[in-house]
Amino acid sequence: MSDASELAAFAALLADRTRAAMCLALFDGRAWTAGELAAHAGVARSTATGHLDRLIGGGLLVEARQGRHRYVRLADPGVAGLLEDITARLEPGLPPARGLRAATADAALRRGRTCYDHLAGRLGVAVTDALTAAGVLDQAAGFAVTDDGLTWLTDRLGVAPDRLRAGRRPLARACLDWTERRSHLGGLAGARVCETFLDRRWVTRIGSGRAVRVTPAGQAALHELLGLTGLD
């Protein structure tokens, strides 16, 4: 009964629209201030502070202070994976958009976005499929990076070998995409791929949210590296 009570208390952290909205906003992998999250959720700052205290106390978020500002972010990649898995089980994915601006934003999220620190949406799934076809990933063996894949990540993509050493976080993880309903690459390898794409400006963020787009340089690079075409 103790485990059941603890599970119910943990689930209650997300059983509130404001707290859920804050957690989803933090999917972009960045730290937000309490004021920014209050504005995003449409609540007063004092209300947001109470919700953030609960999320931090429950282990979903962590905080850091810089001067007068209080920043919060998801506690770790495991929390991001948990939230993405829960979200992927919702139907029918993104709700119907209201108005042209909302429809444009939804379409951008479907095309490509970050899921905490790795790529998701059609872009994330396309990259994952291409990595599998190239022998970098073996999805038949439980979503694993192959030996040739490690060489590809270090030699072709330029990731330092010590940045691919799996510790508590798995090297590769299948993350069910909540719009595509297929798996994209998560884990440490997924984070390094996304990081490299952003650093080289093959992919850039659209505004301040999670949506990303492939740049012309990225289209050329991904065609050369993985044979990908038709990315926008």
| Length of the chain counted residue by residue | 232
Please report whether residue 219 resides in a domain: yes
Same domain, 115 and 54: no
pLDDT digits (tens, 9 = 90+) for 197-215: 999 999 999 877 788 999 9
Taking residues 137-149, what's their average pLDDT? 90
How many domains is the chain partitioned into structurally?
Answer: 2
Q: Which amino acid is at 89?
A: R
Q: Kindly report each contact of residues 130-134 with a partner whose C-beta sits within 8 Å and lies 24 or more positions away, as own/partner.
A: 130/222, 130/226, 130/227, 130/228, 131/185, 131/193, 131/226, 133/226, 133/227, 134/226, 134/227
Same domain, 114 and 210: yes
What does the block give as tokens for 105?
Answer: 């934003």
Report whether 121 contacts 177 (CB < 8 A).
Answer: yes
Q: Transcribe 53-107 into DSSP letters.
A: HHHHHTTSEEEEEETTEEEEEES-HHHHHHHHHHHHTSSSSSPPP-SHHHHHHHH
Same domain, 106 and 64: no
Same domain, 136 and 215: yes
pLDDT digits (tens, 9 = 90+) for 71-110: 999 988 888 878 877 877 765 544 555 565 655 677 888 8
Please report whether residue 32 resides in a domain: yes
Please report whether residue 131 resides in a domain: yes
Please report whether residue 30 resides in a domain: yes
Which range of residues forms the domain containing residue 48?
2-75
> Which uninterrupted H or E stretch holds 115?
strand 113-115
Please report whether residue 94 resides in a domain: no
What CATH number did the domain enclosing 36 receive?
Answer: 1.10.10.10
Point out the least confidently predicted range of 44-53, 86-95, 184-193, 194-203.
Answer: 86-95
Same domain, 215 and 103: yes
Please report whether residue 85 resides in a domain: no
What's residue 95's pLDDT? Answer: 53
